[in-house]
Each structure stands twice: as C-alpha cells, then as structure tokens.
A and B are shown apart, each in its own frame.
Chain A
Amino acid sequence: MSIRKRVLLHGAAVLLLFWFLGPILWLVSASFQLDNELFSVPPHWIPHNPTLDNYTFLITREPPPVYQGAEMGRRASGEALSAIPALQNSLVVAGSVMVLNLALSALAAYPFSRLRFAGKDFVLGFIVTSRLIPAIAVGIPFFAIVQRLGLLDTKLALILVYLAFTLPFTIWFLIKYFDFVPPEIEEAAMVDGCGRLQALLRIVLPLSLPGLAATGAFAFMLAYSEFLFAVLLTRTMASKTVPVVLSAAAINFDVSYALASTAVVIAILPPIALALLFRNYVLRGLSTAFGQ
C-alpha cells in the first residue's frame, strides 16, 4: 500500500470512528457529571469532578445530597427515575420475543426450505408482504385488537405485537439460512427412522447456530427498540418500556440532563452487549444469507 493511500485510509477511518463513537463517548462522560458542570462553556470533555451520584440515584432511587436541593430535586424528574423499572419491562418483553420468535420462526421456516406442499408460495408471500404495511397505518386497529383481547397496558400485548413484526423477517431469513444446510444429512437420518421434527431439532438447528443467533439477536433488538406501539399500548409502569420512559424524559425541558444521560447509558448497554457478544454469529449469519 502506498503512503498516500495509507494516510487517506487511516484519516477516513479515524473520522468515521469519531462520528460513530463520539456522541456515545460524550454521553458516557456526561453521565459522570452533574448538571452544573454539564452547562460549562466549553464543555468539560473529561469530567473535572467525576461522580457516581447519577448512577447511585437511578439504581437505589435514594437521592444523594446534591439532588436534595430544591433546584435539583425538581429537575430529577420521575421519568428518569422510572428508568430501571422500565428496563426490567423491556428485558422481559424483548427476552420473551426472542425465545418465542426463535421457536416459531424455525418451525415455520423449515417446511418452506425443505418441503413441497400446496399453498407454499401463497402463504410465504402473505407472510413476507405483511411487513410492507407501515406501522403508523395500523396504529388505531392494533389498539382496538389489544383492547378487545383485554390486554391494554400489559407486557403480553407488546410481546404479541412484536412477534407479528419480527416473524416475517426472521422466517424469511431462516429459510435462506436453512437452504444452505445440505439436506443429505437429514435424509440419511430419516431413512434410519428419524421423524421430520426430530430431523429439524437434532440436525438442522445445531447446524444453523450462527443463523439462529443472528435471528435471536435481531428479534431481541427489534423488540427492545420498538417505540410507536409501546407508546400507544402502555399506560403505567406495569408495561412501559425504556423507549417510552426515556423519550418522555428527553422532551421534558425540566429534566436533569445528567440523570437522563445516565439513564440512556444504562438503557443502551443491553443491546450493545448483545451485538458485540454475538458479533461473529450475526456477521456470519448475515454474510451467509447475503453473500450469494
């Protein structure tokens, strides 16, 4: 590589790293500052008086001395304080969606990948095109369905809705993935008297682990991120998820930036951890499905 090319490539990479990570690094720095320091001009990129008060406050919900003054007490709004309960709701919802989605989409993708049966193209076409309807277009009817099922303000309602959202993607993705698993091994097993379901569970699934990991991670993240229906279908902390609580805090002009930043840092940890832990699986899964 020529010197000029090396400089150019490194320069571009540094700029991109700055763009992608800069805002998050600042968020982390802000979470270790208090509001009075956050408003300094120019900002303290590295906190001069780093403090864990924001984290202690959010986790224990006991206001540390700095937040007990009238000014700070007002700013420490209830929304930021609901961050941890909301996080628990989000984890329950996203975790359930991940598990159920994996089971249902593996089961549904298998016959599409392996079997010839009447109505195959029609059902697959229906499932895949169902996601072309924009979310905002079905806001009112979703509300009506959930109300009729008596599930308003429950986590179960969110789980059902997110399953309906994620399944079309994950079924399509797993069909592509299963297509890459050679059918000869299951055929041999079935000659030896192994049933279809057993072939799926004992042979196809273990050979598709990267694809399943990518599927699970995708379902978790979509459920963890979803916002519009979470706003429409939740009322109280019985079911409010992280995006609902944090967006309310973010547009509230009275909120403490330091506390809200801390809440955002805590909230983005689970999906980032998941993405980095499953990085190799996700990348391998994606490249198998897309590298033709």
Chain B
Amino acid sequence: MPGSGVQVPPIALGSRRPRWTSASVQRHLFAYLSLLPATIIVALFTLYPTLYSLNLALHQYHLLRPGRHPFVGARNFVEALSTPGLYSSLLVTLQFTAMSVAGTAVLGTLIALLLNQPFRLARVLQVAILIPWAIPAVMAGIIWRWVFRGDVGVLNGLLYSLGLIDSYRSFLGDPITAKLALVVAHLWKHLPLATILLLATLQVIPRELYDAAKLDGAGTWQLFRSITFPFLKPTLAVVLIFDTIVAFTTFDLVFAMTGGGPANATTLIAWYIYNEIFTNLNLGRGAALAFLVALLTLVIALVYLRALRTERLYREG
C-alpha cells in the first residue's frame, strides 16, 4: 500500500524479523521503490473507489434530485434487495454462469486432449483457436449477433441452404435460444484460453507414466482418470475460477448481442446494474446494488480458493 513506507506492522513480517543492517535497509529501499508506481496506480483505483461506493450507498443520491444527499443508512441496500428485477436477473446470471463453466470444463478438457494428439489438423486448430481469443468481447458479440439475427443472420442462411428450415427465424427474439446463443458466443470467446492452459499442462505429463500404466493393462478411461485428470486438476481449478468470475460479471456480450432481451431473458446482473444506474439515475441504490454483487463475487472467489487450498493440503499431506 502506498504511504505505508518502511513502517509495516510486524504481523505481516512472517516468521523471521529482518535485521536492519545497511544491506537490509538497501534491499528494502530497492523493493519499495520498485513496487511504488504500480502499487499507487492499483491503490488509486481500488481503495478509493471502494470507499467512495460505500459512502454513496449510505446516502440518498439521485441525479434527478440533486443538491440534497442525506445519510440514509441501510435504506439503499434494503431497497436494492427488494427490487423484483434483481432476483430474476440473478437467476439468469446463475443459469448463464453454470452453463458457461460446465461448457468450459468439459469442452476445454476435450479440446485440449484433441490438440494433444499427433495429427496435422491439431496443429492447425492450435493456431486457429487463438483468433477468437484475440477478438475483443464486444466484437465477438457483434459477430455472433449477426450470426443469429433473423434477417441477415448467417445461421439462418446456413440452415436454409441445408434445407433444415423453410423460413428464417429470429434466434435472439426467443428467450431460450437467446440464452443459448449468449452461451455459445461466450464459449467461443473464452474456451480458447482455457484450452491453451489445459494443453500446456497436458504437455508436461511424463510419457513414462502412461507407458508404465499401459504395461499394467490400463484402458483409455483408466489412463485418463488416474494419470491425466490428477495432473489437469490444479489448472482446471484455476480455469474454472476464472471463468466463473468472467461469466458472472459478463457485460460486453450482452450489450452487443441482446441488450438484455427478449423480455429480460438475458439480463445478466452487470447489465441489470448498468441499467439501474444509467436509466434510473439512482446512484445511491445503484452503488448499494453494485456493492452487494461485488461481495457475492468475492464470496464465490473465496469459496473456490478455500476449496483449492484444502485440495492442495490434502494432496501434499
């Protein structure tokens, strides 16, 4: 933290207390000076916004009623929790997150296994997969919006050309297909990184392990379960935490693809808050809502991290 300088409470010191010899002072000076610029920037955009948000959430702050901002305590939080749209939006977000994370885990593992096979097309795919990864989420949303559209939609064109449908339909106009379309676009954009990380892990598994297990007569499924999967598990955990947080806070895709519709079927929580703030202009309530969602995200992350840690202790112990 900036400003904490050399004086740091002894709790943070760990087991050994550094002795203040001249070499040690020099080392500390170098460390703090190197850290300072990055830490200031991160702190400016972390600590201050958090406090600011909390302050906003505890006051009445409505852009249509300027000038008066009385302290209202928990009222914004109570109001935020009693808006009916919140719960349907949370439900939609949970559905979307569950489908995305499950898709990432299963497809990510399968594609990584495929890419790890020795054939030429696998190497082509390894390069091709980087392209969706490199495309910004907003543009991925625009691209998929145009795939699913009812008029120029290319999916319609494809199904029509193949004779599977006889008239165009609007995939983004139906609540169920719109939700699925959003998941397809999300996976398209975010699967590649998961796959690349899983593939990197697959490539360090020693081949001798498989050879030995095969000598012992293990089948493909047994090889996967007792060698591949245990190796993949730590990376898989990182990938799943990451995707849970990304999916849970998805905003760009919704903006570019569906605008939350039809009938709020794709109103993910980030989109919901955005509209609360910028349509209703109730900053206090918006901040309270944002605060609650931030807490929820934090809880999800901590639960995962705890699970990971116990897992590691279990493995090492």
| Smallest CB gap from A107: residue in B | B34
Partner of A291, one of B1, B27, B201: B201
Could you give, for residues 155-193 of chain A, a 1 whenever the CB lies within 8 Å of some chain B CB and a 0 otherwise?
Answer: 000001101110110010000000000000000000000
Q: Which of B209-253 contact A (CB under 8 A)?
A: 234-235, 238, 245, 248-249, 251-252
Least CB separation from A196: chain B residue? B30
B137 at the interface (CB under 8 A from A): yes
Q: Is the CB of B142 within 8 A of A164?
A: no
| Chain B neighbourhood of A250, CB < 8 A | 141-142, 145, 256
Q: Which one, B48-56, B81-89, B97-105, is touching chain A?
A: B48-56
- Chain B nearest CB from A232 CB (Å) reads 9
Q: How far is the CA of A13 from the CA of B201 in the complex (A)?
A: 20
CB proximity of A138 to chain B, nearest CB, Å: 4
- Smallest distance from the beta carbon of A44 to chain B beta carbons, Å? 9
Pair B8/A122 contact, Cβ less than 8 Å = yes
Check A119–B8 contact: CB distance below 8 A. yes
Residue of B128, B157, B290 near A42 (CB, 8 A) is B157
B132 CB to nearest A CB, Å: 5
Q: Which of B4, B121, B147, B259 contacts A26 (CB 8 A)?
A: B147
User: Do the beta carbons of A13 and B251 come within 8 Å of each other?
Assistant: no
B131 & A20 in contact (Cβ 8 Å cutoff)? yes
CA distance A138 to B297 in the complex (A): 13
A136-B290 in contact (CB<8A): yes
Assembly CA distance A272 to B119 (angstroms): 24
Q: Does A279 contact B (CB under 8 A)?
A: yes
Contact of B94 with A by CB under 8 A: no
Name the interface residues of A245-282: CB closer than 8 Å to any CB of B: 246-247, 250-251, 257, 260-261, 264, 267-268, 271-272, 274-276, 279, 282
A9 proximity list for chain B (CB < 8 A): 114, 117, 119, 121-122
Q: Count the B residues whose beta carbon is within 8 Å of the partner chain — how many?
A: 98
Question: Does A6 contact B119, Cβ atoms closer than 8 Å?
Answer: yes
Nearest chain B CB to A253 CB, angstrom units: 10
Q: How far is A169 from B46 in the complex, measured between Cα atoms in Å?
A: 14
Number of interface residues of A (CB under 8 A): 94
Give Cα A51–Cα B303 distance, bound, in whole angstroms.
55
Cβ contact within 8 Å between A132 and B49: no
Checking B151, B154, B197 against A286 with a beta-carbon cut-off of 8 angstroms, the contacting residue is: B197
A70 part of interface (Cβ distance < 8 Å): no
- Asked if A104 is at the interface of the complex by the 8 Å CB criterion, the answer is yes
Q: How far is the CA of A163 from the CA of B128 in the complex (A)?
A: 29
CB atoms of A41 and B157 under 8 A apart = yes
Interface of A is mostly: helix
Q: Is A208 located at the chain interface by the 8 A CB criterion?
A: no
The answer to whether A119 touches B142 (Cβ under 8 A) is no
Q: In B159-208, which residues have CB < 8 Å from any A CB?
A: 160-161, 168, 188, 192, 196-197, 200-201, 203-204
A66 interface contact, C-beta 8 A? no
- B6 — nearest CB in chain A belongs to which residue? A118
- Which listed residue (A145, A221, A251) contacts B48, Cβ 8 A? A145
Cross-chain contact A20 with B129 (CB below 8 angstroms): yes
Q: Does the CB pair B152–A39 fall under 8 Å?
A: yes
Most chain B CB atoms below 10 A, which of A121, A257, A283 = A283
Shortest 8 CB-CB distances between A and B: which pairs?
A: A225-B136, A141-B49, A287-B200, A164-B45, A119-B8, A275-B134, A111-B31, A141-B52
Q: Is the CB of B38 within 8 A of A107?
A: yes
Interface residue ranges of B121-140 to A (CB < 8 Å): 121-122, 124-125, 127-139
How far does the Cβ of B278 sit from chain A's closest Cβ, in whole Å? 9
Q: Do A119 and B252 touch (CB < 8 A)?
A: no
A-B contact pairs, 7 of them (CB 8 A): A13-B122, A164-B44, A228-B252, A250-B141, A261-B146, A286-B196, A290-B200
Q: Does B64 contact A (CB under 8 A)?
A: no
Contacts of A50 in B (CB 8 A): none
Q: Does B91 contact A (CB under 8 A)?
A: no
Q: A118-B13, A279-B130, A286-B200 are in contact. Are A108 and B256 (CB under 8 A)?
A: no
CB pair A140 B255 closer than 8 Å:
no
- Output the nearest chain A residue to B14 by Cβ-Cβ distance: A121
- Tell me, rounded to whole Å, the shortest Cβ–Cβ distance linking B66 to chain A: 15
* Contact B291 A137, beta carbon cutoff 8 Å: yes
* A73 in contact (CB, < 8 A): no
